Amino acid sequence: MSRKVEDESVLSIETDQTINEKDKENQKKKKKKEGEGRDRDFLMVATTFIAAMAFQAGTNPPGGVWQDDNSPNYEAGKSIMATKSPSLFISFMSGVTVCFACSAMQFIVLLGKSSEKSWSVSKSFIYFTMGSGISAIVVAYWSAIKALTPEAQMSHVIVMLKTTLVLSVVVLPISMYIEKKRLASR
């Protein structure tokens, strides 16, 4: 009888240790998921801020816009910076546009990560409206750039926008594919 009690005690101790180890593992996983959630939330806030800043800078260029048509050199509503320093204007618009495009890509990646677990009609609607909103802001951005840029610099801006678009279309799917492969290998 003493042997049986001893065996039950050992089994009980081993079981308690196994349960404690499993609890510790579950707590570690839970903390890791919470950390990833906080990181994702921070990235969404930062990405939103960067996109808003880029949009604001792109639609309100330094120096403002011409207010009247008193000279053959400039036109009302066009960027003063583009008229006085065309190369700086192109550099500025390139930087702002790349920044804006990167923010839009980050939104897509971050939204894609949250949709991996479950899917529903309401979630589909939310993602559809988010995609529509991002598309609308891209159209608004393009319209503002086109309205602010004098014809003489428009060809440079179009080349820069096309280059950014092509890079976005190529890099985004590749990075999302690599991320899915990495997650699948876990």
Q: Has residue 13 got a pLDDT over 80?
A: no
Q: Has residue 115 got a pLDDT over 80?
A: no
Please give the Cα distance from 133 to 185 (Å, whole number).
Answer: 33
Range of the domain at 127: 2-184
Q: Has residue 9 got a pLDDT over 60?
A: no
Domain count, the chain: 1
Contacts 24+ apart (CB under 8 A), 172-176: 172/105, 172/108, 172/109, 175/109, 176/109, 176/112
Q: Has residue 59 got a pLDDT over 80?
A: yes
* pLDDT score for 180: 78
Which one is predicted more confidently, 32 or 50? 50
* pLDDT score for 1: 52
- Give mean pLDDT, residues 114-128: 67
* pLDDT score for 155: 87
**Longest C-alpha distance within the chain, in Å?**
109
Q: Has residue 154 got a pLDDT over 60?
A: yes
Please give the Cα distance from 23 to 90 (Å, whole number).
Answer: 58
Torsion angle, CA of 39/45/50/56, rounded to 10 degrees?
180
Q: Has residue 134 got a pLDDT over 80?
A: no
Structure tokens at 39: 């990181």
